[in-house]
Amino acid sequence: MCGTLDLSALPLDCITLIISFTSPRDACRLSPVSTAFNSATESDAVWESFLPSQYQALIPSSLSFSSKKQLYLSLCENPLLIEAGRKSFWMERGSGKKCYMLSPRDLTIICSVDTPWYWRWVSIPEARFDEVAELRLVCWFEIRGRISVSMLSPMTYYKAYLVYRVRNIYGFQFYPAQLSVGVVGTEGSRRAAYLEPERDRIPIDRQPIPNDVQFPKARVDGWLEVEMGEFFNEGCVDDGELEMSALEIQGGNEKGGLILQGIEIRAITPN
């Protein structure tokens, strides 16, 4: 549709409304179009529309920002601790969709309560949370996390990841972990992954390894992750809770040597 009319001839309110119907990424791509567009795309009105509702409650009062755009970018680049440090929150930069990481204290980890012989709580500088869970030894590996679907952005495709690192990992090379993501009471999506990062350690009798069994991938922040499953949030009225679980209970053998940072739920969005 080739036009003869200059878009920047519309009133600023209308331009702001139009831009707010695109996405944060599109808004930034509009800045170089013309100087008039730049003032529209830099405006607080546009970036306010990309912020989540009740965002004011999330920002620590000690921080101030020169513009709503800076605030938006900060919420994307610097995850915030919420719920007394139990969760970490940020937004996916291109789309503004909400993402979370559940700390180990927010998860149900079997055999982690009361005794430090199986799992114990440690503080390490590279972690996002004050405390992370170190697995020393279990036979029954089970981790579950839940998040209310209403905390997620509507009409968004999400994936969940188990985020951890290894320190003298052992016992995870015999069976892949069974991972799943789904709304409580529904089928959900499933994945299988070896938590053991070294392919060579997988015994010969388990090979060839099926294509759909993953291995952990390295993350930018230095931790490892395995995909637990996917979920498309329609954002309907009946919300419910999303449950993510990781189990390795097939092999009754002893396993240990990993440090769990948490479960990450992040938005997967188009470019």
Partner 1 sequence: MGSTSTKIKLRTSDQKVFEVEKAVAVQSQTIKYIYENGCPDSVIHVHSVSGDILSKILDYCKKHVNSAAGKEDISPEELYEWDANFVKVDQNTLFDLILAANCLKIESLLDLTCQTVANMIKGKRPEEIRTTFNIKNDYTIEAEEAVRRENKWAFDMLGGVGTMVIEELADDTMSKCVTNTKSRVCVIAANQIVMMRSISKLANKKSIDVYKQPQNPTTPRIKESVKQRNVGTGFIELFFHFKCKM
Amino acid letter, residue 268: I
Contact 95, 23 (CB under 8 A): yes
Pick between residue 93 and residue 206 the one whose CB is nearest to partner 1.
93
3-state SS assignment for residue 217:
strand
Can residue 111 be called a binding residue for partner 1 (CB under 8 A)? no
Please report how close the Cβ of residue 236 comes to partner 1 at its closest, in angstroms: 9
Distance CA 135, CA 140 (A): 11
CA distance to 42, 82, 126, 176, per residue, from 134 (Å): 45, 22, 14, 19
Selected from 67, 232, 252, 253, the binder of partner 1 by CB under 8 A is 232
Residue 27 Cβ, how far from partner 1 at the closest point, in Å? 8
The widest CA-to-CA distance across the chain, in whole angstroms, is: 73
Indicate the residue among 154 and 252 with the shorter CB distance to partner 1.
Answer: 154
Residue 159 phi/psi, 5° resolution? -130, 150
- Say if CB 179 and CB 162 are below 8 A apart: yes
Contact with partner 1 (CB under 8 A) among 71, 93, 131, 262:
93
State the number of binding residues for partner 1 (CB under 8 A). 44
In the shown chain, the binding pattern of residues 166 to 205 toward partner 1, with x for contact by CB under 8 A and - for none, equals ----------------------------------------
Interface with partner 1 by CB under 8 A: which range of 36-44, 110-118, 172-180, 201-209? 36-44
60 lies in the site for partner 1, by CB under 8 A? no
Distance CA 263, CA 244 (A): 8
d(CA 147, CA 22): 28
* 270 lies in the site for partner 1, by CB under 8 A: yes
94 binds partner 1 (CB under 8 A): yes
Cβ atoms within 10 A of the Cβ of 80, count? 14
Q: List residues binding partner 1 (CB under 8 A).
A: 1-11, 13-14, 17-19, 21-26, 28-38, 93-94, 155, 157, 230, 232, 234, 268-271
